Structure formats: C-alpha cells, structure tokens
Structure 1
Amino acid sequence: MWRRMPGAEYGRVNEIIPGLNMSLPEVLAVLSAVVLVVARWIPPAARPRVTIAAGALLLLSATVVSAAGIRWQVVPVLAGAALALPFAVSPLLRRRTARPAWRARWWLALPGSAVCIGLISCGPVAAWAFPVPVFPEPSGDFAVGTRVVQWTDPRRPETFTADPDDLRTVVVQLWYPARKSPAGTQRAQYLGRTEQEARTVSDALAHGVGLPGFLIDGVPRARTHAVVDAPVEGTGGRFPVVLFSPGSGGVRTQNTAWAEELASHGYVVAALDHPYDSSAVVLADGRTITTEISSSGDRDKDEELAAGWTAVRTADLGFVLTRLEGLDRGETADPLNGRLDTGRAAVTGHSMGGAAALQAARNDRRFDAVVDLDGYPHGPTSPSLTQPALALTQAVTPGTDSRYLPRLTEALGSATATSYRLTVPGAAHLTFMDGPLYLPPVPAIVGSLGRTESPRIVAAATLAFLDTVLKEKPGDLAGVLPAYGDLTVHRPVQRP
C-alpha cells in the first residue's frame, strides 16, 4: 500500500493539506472570510472583536498567499471577503467617529450574506476539483532518482518536417533506484525540468483537451518524490528496464506516479516524449515542439493516420532501447553504466502508447514483455506476439468502441506466449495515468476508484506482472491478477 506524504511541495508554507487540497494560508483565508460574513449575525457585544480578528487574519493569509503565487481557486474566496468587508467594517468606523452605527435590514443582509458565502464556498470546491497533485509515496525498498536525457537517431530523418537534415530526436526521462537523499532535499518538478517548462507543458495539455490553462495551474506547482540526479543505488546490482510511451498528445511525465512506484521496486523506467505527437516537447536548446497530429473526423482515415503515428513511436522505442544498451556498456560516461539489465526489458504504454508497445514487441525481440494500459491496437496485428503481454483496460463495451475488444482479443489471442487482459472495475481511460491526481473526480473522466486507489491498482498490477515475467519471482499470475480486476487469460496458440 502506498503512503501519502503531507502534501505537494511548492513552498513550505504552501504545503497542501491532504483531503482539503488547500495550503494552510488558503484554509485560513477561507475561514476568516466566512467569519467576516457571519459577524453580521452574532450578538452586538462580540461583533467588534470578532470582526477585527477575522479581518486581521484575512489580511495576513491573503498577503502570504499572494506572495507565494495566488491560485485561481482562491480568487472567489477573496472576492466574497471583499464584498463583505465594507459592511463588516462600516459599523466599526462609525462607532469610532461617534456617528450612529448603520446596519442593513436583515432582509437585505441575508441575501448579501448568502452571496458572499456562496462565493467563498466556490474556493474549496474548485480546489477539490482541480487540486495541486499530491503524489503517493512509493512503497518499494529504494529511493527514486530521475533525470532527463535527449538523444538523436543518426539513421532516421524527422518525418514531420521537410528538412532533409532534420534527424529524429526524442526526449527521455529516466526514473531509477537511488540512494536515500538527506531530509529536506528538493524533489523533482512535475511535468518538466523547471517550473517554466512545466507551465509550458501544462498549458499545452490543457489546450489539447480544450480547457483554459488556468484550470490546471496547480499542476506545475507540484513536486514528485524523485530527486534529480540522485546517486544510483549502491549495491551494484543490475536493474530490468521498462520503456514507456504516453498517450496521443501525452507527455513523458504523464505516468510519474506509476514510474516512481516501479523504480522504487528495482526497475529503471525510461519514458519518452515523441516530438510533434506529444503536446509539448521542450528540447535542450530551449525550443518547444508542439503537437502536429489531429483527427480528420473520418474514422477510417483516422485509423490509417494512427497506424502511421504508432509506427513512428515504435521506431522511437526501439531506438531508445538501443541507446540504453549502449549506456549500460559504457559508450558514454554515465552513473548507470553497468547497472541496466537490458536483457530483461519490457515495453509499455498508455492509449496510443499501448498500441506502440504492442507493435514494438512484435517487431523487436529484445523486448521480453509488454504492458498495454488501455490502448487500442492500431496498425497490423502480425507477426504474432511471442512475449507475455498484459493489457489493463476499462470496462470495454460496444458503446466504448465496438472494434476495441475484438481487435485486442485478436492481438492477445494469437500470441505464442500466455497473455492477460485485466478489466479494472470503476476505471476510465484516464485512470491509467496521473489524471486522477489533479482532474475533477468525475467517473466519466477519471473513473470512480479515487485519487489514491487509481494509481495504486495500476502500478500494483503492473508490478505483479513484471516481477513474475522479468524477475522470475514465483507466483501464478492467473491467481494474483484477479485481485485487481476481472481477468481473462489467453493461452498460447498451439501451432501445427
């Protein structure tokens, strides 16, 4: 079971309080604003002291929140307090000047108070719907380190541009078992190497789904549990590698909670940005490449396009595995030299990345296992898979996509190794990424498993499969995997 840390780090004072999804200064701003409104209705003798105390606390908390960077969720709280403030303070000022105190009639004050309370309440509701993500603490024996590398394939021209000298470049984030860092060590920024990169990526992700960027402005404030460039775990062992391809328009960091959990259990995870496909890829020279893929609106045409994009991703995954092999051999000086067991490699992905993972496993026998996180199998389903495969899906119905289940069954059922399809009850498509940590908990969007349970189940099922297949730990997957959902087992096809 994963443990939850006290909150996402974006300033010690602004540490998020679990369950409330707000920092302490934000909570105090809400409480003082409510008291300021309610002061109108308490006995006259206590009213001045309560008003002064609430006003002072509101001013202090608003100052701290503003200095740290105000979140849009706090704006309605401050707006409600601003509306109430003149009516709360006016009687006090009149009393000091010996002028008769003026108070609005109750039948006027009641609707005004209700409006103010309504505005103030919008703050906690908005913070609940669009929180700063709080990442589950990895449950494995290892601390987690991370870093970002950029590799260019000298043999592949960039097919998304017309420049013949433009070579295919991918950005890869590595998560790996690391030595424990001292208490208080700064944790890695979510979504990017810097907060500016994180904001660029966050805005691009929001734009890609038609949302204004400010709605998820808490996401770039989040910190994960990994430490940038932390020393590699020191026992000298070698770690299996897991490559990951994100969904269409997705980014390398979209499954950070999942990647950190795997790394804490002794895996090296390499997650890819696919330029011109991922929403935004910030290169080492500062250039930002945004997505150029989009739906045509025609189902058959879109399938043809998706097959082509999947093929590019498949080539990216094979190239990255080659670079990891070279890194392990010491072709370039690196802390992971001699620590990567590329002879035990899995290829994984979410959505279109899952399709790319299936295709990469078919085309490249260096991959020993494949995990598809709710990905429709685009492209050819031949040759047959020879590696064990695990497909985690939401409940697939004709209403979801009438072609999805037959297509996935064809891909898994023709395999020459045992494959598994695990239907996770209560899951939606975005359950299989970090989305439940920061998107509104609407079942149609992120499923009904909850912010803690969603990443836990996906990572636990993945680990159970990889531990058995790559680490050869004893255990019967057909008996273990049903703990996480409804299991269908596809036995190897017997060839004549």
Structure 2
Amino acid sequence: MRRRGPGAEHGRVTETIPGLTLSLPEVLVLLGAVALLVARWLPPAARRPVTAAAGAVLVPSAIVLGIVGIRWQMLPVLAGGAVAAAFALPPLLRRRTGRPARRARWWLALPGSLACAGLIATGPVAAWAFPVPVFPEPTGDFAVGTRVVQWTDPLRPESFTADPDDRRTVVVQLWYPAQKSPAGTQRAQYLGRTEDEARTVSEALADGVGLPGFLVDGVPRARSRAVFDAPVAGGAERFPVVLFSPGSGGVRTQNTAWAEELASHGYLVAALDHPYDSAVVVLADGRTIRATTASSGDRDSDEELATGWTAVRAADLGFVLTRLERLDRGETADPLTGRLDTGRAAVAGHSLGGAAALQAARQDHRFGAVVDLDGYPHGPASPALGQPALALTQEITAGTDPRYLPRLTDALEHSTATSYRLTVPGAGHLTFIDGPLYLPPVPSIVGTLGRTESPRVVAGATLAFLDAVLRGRPGDPADTLRAYGKVYTVSPLVGLGHVDA
C-alpha cells in the first residue's frame, strides 16, 4: 500500500518505497528512462512501440520537472535517458524513411547500456540517500497545530551587537494540541513559515557543516504533520509546557518530529531560535540574522565561549516561559489563553541546547523537569539542580570526548532530585534531531536506528519521563525508560546506580 508523503495532498511527493520520496513526474521520468534503455534489447516487433511509449512518457515529464524545479537526484536519470534515446531512436527513424535500420552489435552496445543503467540507477540511490523527509504520523489523541511568534525582551540588551538600543529578540515556534483539520488541509512547511524561508534555513544548515546546499534540496520541499494556525483542541484541558533549545548552529525546527509527537499527547512545545547562535533566523520584518558564534580551536577558550553562549540561551528560555505565562493569563488575546499549565513546565535541548536547558533549570525553578538530548554540560555545576532530569546519550565509544560522561555524571549527581541517564544503543549525535529523516543513513552521522525508529525512540523516552514527573503517572520512570536503552538512575543520596536494560 502506498503511503502519502509530505506534500502528497498536492501531488508533489509520493513515497514509492520506504525512504524513497519521488514526485509523480520524477517517477515517470525514471520509468521512461528505464523503458528506453530496455527497448534496445527487445525483439524487433516490441522495440518500436516501447520506444515510442517511453518517449511519450519521458519528454512531457521532463518538461514538467523543468517548470516546477528539478532536483539534482534526477539529473543522472535524465542524462541516462538522453543517451539511451540517442541509440534507440535513430534506427526507428531510418526505418520510417525507408532506409535500412542499423544497430550496433550486442557486444558493442552492452557497455553503453551498462553505462546508461548506472546513470539511471544513480538517481533513485541519491534520492534514497538525500530524500524529501517523510514525518512520522503522531501517535497521540490530538491533532497538532503550529504557529510562529516573535518576542522582544525590553529588559535585556542584545549582547551580540554593539547597538545599545538593540534588545534581545527571539523567534519561537509553538506546537500545540489542535482540533482535527478537514481532509486535504495543507500541512505546515518544514524549516520555515514559507518555502523561501525553508530554503534559506536549509542552505544555512548545509553551509554550517560544509555541505553544498543542493545536496539537501529536498528538505525545504517537505511538510510536517502539523497545520499552521489550526484551532486549539476543544475542552478545558490545560497543557503542560515544554521549552526547547536547539544545538549550536541548529534551528527551532530541527526537532519537529519530536515536538509534534509531544503535542499530540497533550503538551505545548515552544522551540526557540537564538539569534546570532542559530544557523539563521528570519525575523518577522524579513531581516535575516546568521550565526556569528564560532569555535576558536583552543579547548579552554572554547569552553569559556560555550559557557557564555549557554548563559544567553538559558536567559532566552526563562524569558519565553514568562511570555507564555502572560499569554496564558490573557494579557494579549490569544487562542491559547487559559489553556497552558505553566505550573507544569519542562525545559529541553539538544547538544548545546541541552547544556542551556540544565543551566536554565538551575537558575529558574519554574521549570519542573529537564531533558538533555546528548548535550555536554557547560557552565557552573552550582547551584545544585533541584529538578529531575533525563539525559539521553549516544553510546560512549573510544571516539567520544572522554570528558563528556564524567561531566554529565557530575551535573546529574549535583542534584537534589532523582535523575536518569539513558544510553540509546545505536544512536549517534544526530539521532536526537530530525536528521535521520533526510540525511544518508551513515552510522557515524545518524546512528543505526533508522529513519523510523530514531524519532520513535527519542520522543517515546521523552514522553515516558515527562508523563511521570509532570503528570504524575504512577511507577518508577526507569521501568518505562528501560524499553529504550540502558538506564542509569542518579539518586541524590547514593549517586549513580545502574539499572539493567
């Protein structure tokens, strides 16, 4: 059975096999190119109709792609089809004019056919390695809505600029429980409010890791499972709040699958863009702010820099929680007024954002729980962490920074609440974001869990922890977390203890 991919409601993208997303014109181009290649080897009676049908499919489909935009993955397919056509069409044209058809002997044609086959096969392989991401369907009882807000803190000057009148501004994306939208409703653009913004963000992310932007040109085409500005779910239920800070050079949308899963289970997720630290931030007035933070290469200097960036992020998180409190009180008219349970708030983050989450919780006791997604702690370990924390980590190997595990363990042990460290087998650092959905499945990059299992594990473990500590679900959280990996329980009385996976 064919599964609809993001944008399928417009006929743009279809998931033909797991992990391979192709639009209908792309599928037709691929089939037409294969048919032209095969036609050369068919019996004479079948050769002419197959070649004509292949051309009738390939040419119009290629024209459509030229109009709507050709992904780079289709270029070798088109090249292979063009070369195959150059050998398939001339014999037919000669026969039509009455001249004798000439065909190369099979042993001369075979190398050319194999070369064409290699070109054509490169397309779907490249589309599989760098696909248009297909977001998992959230498993909770609620549909998911999303919207973007921009807030300026009048009390904090912008520390990344020299303008004394510049005040700290953050862009925040909210995912929330929503009413079910009618069938065919357009889903939210991934990475941005518009496709132009999504392309800007995608190019900035690629540039940040030294990749050519065209390699991930499928990512801005994707749509998630949420609906922009969907009506808030009915009833009077108040939703616990989860704030999220992305990794260094990351963006607010980098954990969209995770955020949508939490929202479908009744949480309000607010993810931040941190200007001058996030890869790129597009403000409401259209201004674009690119990251200016960069490592120096010196370990001590970089630690000092990271501590400063973490402090700014922690302050951003506290400010956004304050704005959500004001929103819930109705200081400005908003559909979410009266629906947020800011008394049950958690702070989360990935990588540097995880460090910021830990610091935000130390400084602001309005946060009742912390989730650190593979984040190395930066900054002081005091005051002691007073909230339960969950730290999800990749497997510690010889190539892992030897300071990471001791530093994380120390941060959790300096706590007055029971915390947990969950080591996820097969995880890599980018397992904990949306990366497995659209990056090549290279273990050193995204781990070995796969495109389906990675978001399930990360969101499932997070929900198990939050449901226990914020919603008071009975039982030991370690019992539920054990389904996702090796759990280490950190007691404020006995320190680190191991719970068998």
Say yes or no: TM over 0.5: yes
1:175 maps to: 175
- Summarize deviations over 1:415-445 as a string: whole Å, max 9, x none: 1100000000000000000000000011110
Aligned length: 493
Q: Does 1:99 align with 2:99?
A: yes
- Summarize deviations over 1:62-84 as a string: whole Å, max 9, x none: 23333332211111100110111
In 1: Cα distance, 2:352 partner to 2:371 partner: 12
Paired AA for residue 376 in structure 2: Y
2:499 maps to: none
1:120 maps to: 120
Structure 1 residue 35: Cα displacement: 1.6
1:356 maps to: 356
Q: Does 1:443 align with 2:433?
A: no
3-state SS of paired residue (2:10): coil
2:132 maps to: 132
Paired AA for residue 37 in structure 1: L
2:415 maps to: 415
In 2: Cα distance, 1:337 partner to 1:5 partner: 37
Paired AA for residue 382 in structure 1: S
In 1: Cα distance, 2:478 partner to 2:297 partner: 40
3-state SS of paired residue (2:367): coil
- The root-mean-square deviation of aligned C-alpha atoms, in Å, is 1.4
3-state SS of paired residue (2:4): coil
1:347 maps to: 347
Q: Is the 8 A contact 1:14 1:68 kept in 2?
A: no
| Aligned ranges 1:195-210 → 2 under 5 Å | 195-210=195-210
3-state SS of paired residue (2:254): coil
2:304 maps to: 304
In 2: Cα distance, 1:287 partner to 1:206 partner: 20
1:395 maps to: 395
2:10 maps to: 12
Structure 1 residue 24: Cα displacement: 3.0
Q: Is the 8 A contact 2:429 2:445 kept in 1?
A: yes
2:313 maps to: 313
1:379 maps to: 379
Q: Is the 8 A contact 1:421 1:489 kept in 2?
A: yes
Q: Does 1:85 align with 2:55?
A: no
In 1: Cα distance, 2:11 partner to 2:311 partner: 47
**Distance verdict in 2 for CA 1:363–1:5, change over 3 Å:** farther
| Aligned ranges 1:262-341 → 2 under 5 Å | 262-341=262-341
In 1: Cα distance, 2:161 partner to 2:381 partner: 28
- Summarize deviations over 1:355-396 as a string: whole Å, max 9, x none: 000010011100000000000001111111110000000012
- Summarize deviations over 1:233-264 as a string: whole Å, max 9, x none: 11111110000000000000000000000000
Structure 1 residue 494: Cα displacement: 7.2
Q: Which moved more, 1:465-474 or 1:107-116?
A: 107-116
In 1: Cα distance, 2:109 partner to 2:192 partner: 49
- Summarize deviations over 1:455-483 as a string: whole Å, max 9, x none: 00000000000001001111221211110
- Summarize deviations over 1:140-189 as a string: whole Å, max 9, x none: 00010100000000011001100000100000000000111111111110
In 2: Cα distance, 1:41 partner to 1:342 partner: 69
- Summarize deviations over 1:387-416 as a string: whole Å, max 9, x none: 000000001234200000000000011211
Unmatched segments (≥5 aa) in structure 1: none
In 1: Cα distance, 2:134 partner to 2:63 partner: 24
**Distance verdict in 2 for CA 1:377–1:330, change over 3 Å:** same
Q: Is the 8 A contact 1:16 1:132 kept in 2?
A: no
Unmatched segments (≥5 aa) in structure 2: 496-501
Paired AA for residue 172 in structure 2: V
Q: Is the 8 A contact 1:188 1:227 kept in 2?
A: yes
Q: Which moved more, 1:288-297 or 1:53-62?
A: 53-62
Structure 1 residue 29: Cα displacement: 1.5
Q: Which moved more, 1:254-263 or 1:35-44?
A: 35-44
- Summarize deviations over 1:265-308 as a string: whole Å, max 9, x none: 00000000000000010000000000001111111111111111
Q: Is the 8 A contact 1:276 1:291 kept in 2?
A: yes
Q: Is the 8 A contact 1:189 1:224 kept in 2?
A: yes
Q: Is the 8 A contact 1:5 1:135 kept in 2?
A: no
Q: Which moved more, 1:143-152 or 1:44-53?
A: 44-53
Paired AA for residue 98 in structure 2: A
1:486 maps to: 486
Structure 1 residue 343: Cα displacement: 0.3
Q: Is the 8 A contact 1:149 1:172 kept in 2?
A: yes
Paired AA for residue 96 in structure 1: R
TM-score after normalising by structure 1: 0.97
Q: Is the 8 A contact 1:415 1:493 kept in 2?
A: no
Q: Does 1:191 align with 2:191?
A: yes
Paired AA for residue 365 in structure 2: R
- Summarize deviations over 1:331-361 as a string: whole Å, max 9, x none: 1111111111100000000000000000100
Paired AA for residue 329 in structure 2: R
Q: Is the 8 A contact 1:187 1:224 kept in 2?
A: yes
2:162 maps to: 162
2:53 maps to: 53
Structure 1 residue 11: Cα displacement: 6.0
Q: Is the 8 A contact 1:413 1:493 kept in 2?
A: no
In 1: Cα distance, 2:157 partner to 2:404 partner: 32
Paired AA for residue 429 in structure 2: H
TM-score after normalising by structure 2: 0.96
In 2: Cα distance, 1:5 partner to 1:200 partner: 29
Q: Is the 8 A contact 1:16 1:23 kept in 2?
A: yes
**Distance verdict in 2 for CA 1:119–1:11, change over 3 Å:** farther
3-state SS of paired residue (1:21): strand
